[in-house]
Structure 1
Amino acid sequence: SKADYAEGLRVTVALSVGFAILVGVLRIIRGWPIHWLIITGYVGVIVMTVFAPPEIIGIAYDSGGVTTSTITVPLVTALGVGLATSIKGRNPMIDGFGLIAFASLTPMIFVMGYGIFGVGGNAQQLDGPFGIAFRSVVQQIEAYAALLTHPLNRLAGWLFGPLQDWMLALPGMFGGLAHTLIDTINDVLPIAMIIFGFQLFVLRKRIPKLGRVLLGFVYVLLGLAFFLDGLELALFPLGKLMATQLTDPAFISSVTHHVDNLNWWDYRWVYLFAFAIGFATTIAEPSLLAVAIKAHQVSAGSIGVLGLRVAVALGVAIGIALGTYRIVSGTPLHWYIIAGYVVVVIQTFFAPRLIVALAYDSGGVTTSTVTVPLVAALGLGLAGTVPGRSVLLDGFGLIAFASLFPMMTVMAYAQLSERRARRAARSNRGA
């Protein structure tokens, strides 16, 4: 059923991210070069693309971009940089970044594997032998998770149940804000439990400055709740409205003054909107700001916060604009992605070594809380209105473009900066 398919897909992505962080941590500990692991992963994605069902390819590519969020990106970045800083012989810039890149890459491989072995030729049924076995594993995981969380849910219901009921009963937007706050608490609580659990029961050390840490969690919960509720009230409805209106055949015909035989240039306002919204939403991404600040700190100021954000935002803007052109033209998604991977691999061998891991991470921080809903709405809306396009086959993929192109622009930015520095050094020696 569709519910089984969606549940299996969700667990597949979650398992892939867990595996990705494990591999990323092993890489930092062992000192493995990140580019060989990433290139191997790209080869795996390309090979899986050949065998995966067509209806799963776009979803698989997009799954690599939706695994990172406003909560996880700063935490994972701090984990990688902190681990690299604490291990002798590791460079925080070279070895500390890269965990987000793994978390963006492995879901594509896992989801396409799920499509090949679990779904087969029908994306709505789990009718193969692997599909039946995988569904059983999913049910076991859910059963164990429910068993572990049941006492906590009962305790939380007993302590905070009346307060939660009162908050949800608030009128108007206050009730919506309360609902968002409760959802945010449910999202942050498992992460906090894992961190505190390892600190107290594995490391067996007290948490330094506990009061400050708890206050920080309160700030995170309140800030995210207001931020997400504001997005739901204003930005998302306006963005989806713009996407719907720009892809409306009536608007296209009013611009082109003809209805039949529309070509790719007739959708020029869609490309411009895609570029602008890609740049603007990326600049506003809290995840990108967190990574840029951490990179600025670790590099002792050699990497500028604004410069990195602009480079990433340009990559997203170009990627989404090109992705909308792909939907209009109807060309296969995988050819663009494979060509992009080839460019990234070539750039990897010419870019400064200090920037490579950060560039890989840049592809994962661009598709977070602000960007994903707007970009997904644009892609699905465009595929639903362009004649001859399928929402399932053509509507997905914009998030993959938004994850791929920032890696190119960040490495290009680093190469240009290095070239400028060399020219400046030569001119100073000549003087």
Structure 2
Amino acid sequence: MGVKETKTKIETASKNKERSAIPPSPNPGKAVPTMKLFLSKIREVLQAVLPIVAIVLLLHATLTPLTALQLERFLLGAFCIIAGLSIFLHGIDFSISMIGKAMGRTFSKTANLILLAGAGLALGFIISIAEPDLHILAGQVERLTAGTVSKWSIILVVSLGIAALLALGLIRIVRNIVLHKLLIGLYAVVFILALSASDEFLAIAFDASGATTGAMTVPFIMSMALGVTLLRKDNIAANTEGFGLIGVVSVGPIIAILLMDLFAAVSVTAPDTPINKLKTASLLAPFLEKIPIVAEEVLFALLPITLIFLLMQRYSFRLSRRNVSWIIYGLLLTYIGLFLFLLGAQGGFMEVGRTIGFNVASLDNKLYLLVISFVLGLVTVLAEPAVHVLTHQIEDITNGAVKRNAVKAVLSLGIGTAVALAMLRIIFPQIQLWHYLLPGYLIALTLTFFVPKIFVGIAFDSGGVASGPMTATFILSFVQGAASAMAEDNLLSESFGMIALVAMTPIIAVQVLGLIYKLRAERNNGNGIQNNSEKE
């Protein structure tokens, strides 16, 4: 395919993207398509959760038998997660995504950088507070620091980081700042701050980066990027510059947590309670205890974005009454789904994950721990809905030259390896997290000079989306359980860092694929994409 033909295709994609920036108008009379959408969400969630359930049942029957109560709590928690995540993802389509597109459409009408930056700050902070993966991680931090570092302090600090970098990322798109140069500058700041960071906060900071860009944040940010790219006069550039915003935003939590460690000087204390012991003999007790707490937290998380939407609708959006009704309906579904998801995760799902991690790590043969960790990473990434979207995206951009199955295979092996490396760090405490992160990110940043620029954006975006709900819940709990069985003085630092490795691996893997594609295209006299994507 020649340059002219490729340019035409990209311009057509840009026009389609501009039309898609206008919020859709769901037809309340079409109940069947709506039900089909919901059923598709259920299938996605089942693909993500059932592999974990199958592995737990296999381990229960072989290496690490669970008590009947533990197994019942796990299955009840899994049911709540499946129901909650399905409802949540369905509600997002009718609420957060539509609000994000409306925001993007509003931004596309103005080039005022002050207004754009202010909106990015406010919306980034508000939407991050509602991210379920961040709530899970912050709760884990609070539990493992025995309350020394509160859940809401982590949520607020991380949300500030998201807000600042979202504003910067939006300005980058409008001002045509080269993505890889901005990323190198941001990670230079990260490495400087990391020099004086404690081991505990270094691990938490990089984990927060992967956990924050989840099911709530990603569709909203991508919708905003879609609208802001319409400010670009160059259709070809506009089609590619939207990629990379999630990658830029992902740096915000790292810098925010490292600054928190630098200026707050918080001393942390690990809990004394054994991690593999149940606190109560009642099946429903953990769930009933969490109901009022989770209900209040979810209400507090979703209330700001709801109020912002109503305010913008009055003064800017002017959406039809039908669209407003669907958005309110979607926000209600989002509340119910997020409530059930967090209730299931905190009530029994993560507790069993910690127990199994503890029991497997207590076995004499540590090879079991490495193999199970690798398999967990392998099957989890294969089932993540965001990974399916990413692989389709890459195949479309390369006109089929890079097959999605090849991308999935590389990502699966890479993330399986990342989880195994996290366990290796627990087995051998002398291995520090920065031993992985420093060379890994140096490789990732070096590759940005050699791969097609569109792959740079996709790669750093994929680092944010690869760590999904199952990574933030079960696998993180599994790692923490193993750390509690083996770690001595470094329980907190060894309990975190896994999400950081999972977020780093796709950045390298996707760029390597981009480099392979570039070399293959050059051998075939080029098919035009790298020439177009190299334009700054």
In 2, the alpha carbon distance for the partners of 1:282 and 1:365 equals 10
In 2, the alpha carbon distance for the partners of 1:347 and 1:396 equals 27
Please tell me whether the aligned partners of residues 93 and 299 of structure 1 are also in contact (alpha carbons under 8 angstroms). Answer: no
Instruction: Give the CA deviation at 1:194.
Output: 2.7
* Superposed counterparts of 1:10-159, under 5 Å: 10-89=155-234, 91-119=237-265, 122-123=267-268
In 2, the alpha carbon distance for the partners of 1:234 and 1:305 equals 35
Change (3 A) 1:388 1:183: closer
Please tell me whether the aligned partners of residues 177 and 226 of structure 1 are also in contact (alpha carbons under 8 angstroms). Answer: no
SS across alignment from 1:66 = helix
Bigger CA drift: 331-340 or 383-392?
Answer: 383-392
Please tell me whether the aligned partners of residues 77 and 291 of structure 1 are also in contact (alpha carbons under 8 angstroms). Answer: no
Instruction: Give the CA deviation at 1:230.
Output: 6.2
**Residue-by-residue CA offset, 1:81-100 (whole Å, 9 max, x unaligned):** 33214532263453112222
| 1:263 alignment counterpart | none
* Superposed counterparts of 1:339-354, under 5 Å: 339-354=439-454
SS across alignment from 1:367 = coil
Instruction: Give the CA deviation at 1:277.
Output: 1.1
Structure 1 position 276 matched with structure 2 position 375 = yes
Identity among equivalent pairs (%): 24
Change (3 A) 1:416 1:182: farther
| Matched AA of 2:264 | G
In 1, the alpha carbon distance for the partners of 2:405 and 2:334 equals 23
Instruction: Give the CA deviation at 1:2.
Output: 6.9
Please tell me whether the aligned partners of residues 60 and 111 of structure 1 are also in contact (alpha carbons under 8 angstroms). Answer: yes
Instruction: Give the CA deviation at 1:292.
Output: 5.3
Aligned partner (choices 310, 318, 333) of residue 417 of structure 2:
318
Please tell me whether the aligned partners of residues 358 and 483 of structure 2 are also in contact (alpha carbons under 8 angstroms). Answer: no
Bigger CA drift: 173-182 or 365-374?
Answer: 173-182
| Matched AA of 1:369 | P
**Residue-by-residue CA offset, 1:124-181 (whole Å, 9 max, x unaligned):** 7xxxxxxxxxxxxxxxxxxxxxxxxxxxxxxxxxxxxxxxxxxxxxx99997998778
| 1:259 alignment counterpart | none
SS across alignment from 2:211 = coil
TM-score (norm 2): 0.59
Please tell me whether the aligned partners of residues 363 and 405 of structure 1 are also in contact (alpha carbons under 8 angstroms). Answer: yes
Change (3 A) 1:96 1:195: farther
- Structure 2: give runs of 5+ residues left out of the alignment: 1-144, 270-283, 527-536
In 2, the alpha carbon distance for the partners of 1:112 and 1:232 equals 27
SS across alignment from 1:417 = helix
Change (3 A) 1:223 1:392: closer
| Matched AA of 1:116 | L
| 2:505 alignment counterpart | 405
Please tell me whether the aligned partners of residues 384 and 390 of structure 1 are also in contact (alpha carbons under 8 angstroms). Answer: no
In 1, the alpha carbon distance for the partners of 2:289 and 2:382 equals 27
TM-score (norm 1): 0.72
SS across alignment from 2:469 = coil
In 1, the alpha carbon distance for the partners of 2:482 and 2:461 equals 29
| Matched AA of 2:456 | V
Instruction: Give the CA deviation at 1:76.
Output: 1.0
| 1:167 alignment counterpart | none
| 1:394 alignment counterpart | 494
**Residue-by-residue CA offset, 1:354-391 (whole Å, 9 max, x unaligned):** 11111101111122322112232233222222265511
Please tell me whether the aligned partners of residues 327 and 389 of structure 1 are also in contact (alpha carbons under 8 angstroms). Answer: no
Change (3 A) 1:231 1:388: closer
Structure 1 position 206 matched with structure 2 position 319 = yes
In 2, the alpha carbon distance for the partners of 1:369 and 1:41 equals 26
Change (3 A) 1:390 1:191: same
Structure 1 position 190 matched with structure 2 position 315 = no
SS across alignment from 2:163 = helix
Change (3 A) 1:218 1:293: farther
**Residue-by-residue CA offset, 1:210-268 (whole Å, 9 max, x unaligned):** 455455545555665666666667864554443222112xx2x2x4xxxxxxxxxxx22
In 2, the alpha carbon distance for the partners of 1:52 and 1:296 equals 40
| 1:361 alignment counterpart | 461
| Matched AA of 2:311 | G
- Structure 1: give runs of 5+ residues left out of the alignment: 125-170, 256-266, 427-431
State the number of aligned residues.
Answer: 364
SS across alignment from 1:51 = coil
* Superposed counterparts of 1:1-12, under 5 Å: 5-6=149-150, 7-12=152-157
**Residue-by-residue CA offset, 1:52-91 (whole Å, 9 max, x unaligned):** 2333222222221221221111111121133214532263
Please tell me whether the aligned partners of residues 12 and 110 of structure 1 are also in contact (alpha carbons under 8 angstroms). Answer: yes
In 2, the alpha carbon distance for the partners of 1:175 and 1:386 equals 32
In 2, the alpha carbon distance for the partners of 1:215 and 1:239 equals 34
In 1, the alpha carbon distance for the partners of 2:286 and 2:208 equals 31
Instruction: Give the CA deviation at 1:15.
Output: 0.8
Bigger CA drift: 12-21 or 217-226?
Answer: 217-226
Give the RMSD, CA atoms, in angstroms: 3.6
Instruction: Give the CA deviation at 1:289.
Output: 4.2
SS across alignment from 1:14 = helix
SS across alignment from 2:468 = coil
Change (3 A) 1:307 1:80: farther
**Residue-by-residue CA offset, 1:402-424 (whole Å, 9 max, x unaligned):** 11111011111222233344455
| 1:144 alignment counterpart | none
| Matched AA of 1:350 | F
In 2, the alpha carbon distance for the partners of 1:349 and 1:209 equals 44
In 2, the alpha carbon distance for the partners of 1:417 and 1:362 equals 17
Instruction: Give the CA deviation at 1:200.
Output: 3.3
| 2:479 alignment counterpart | 379
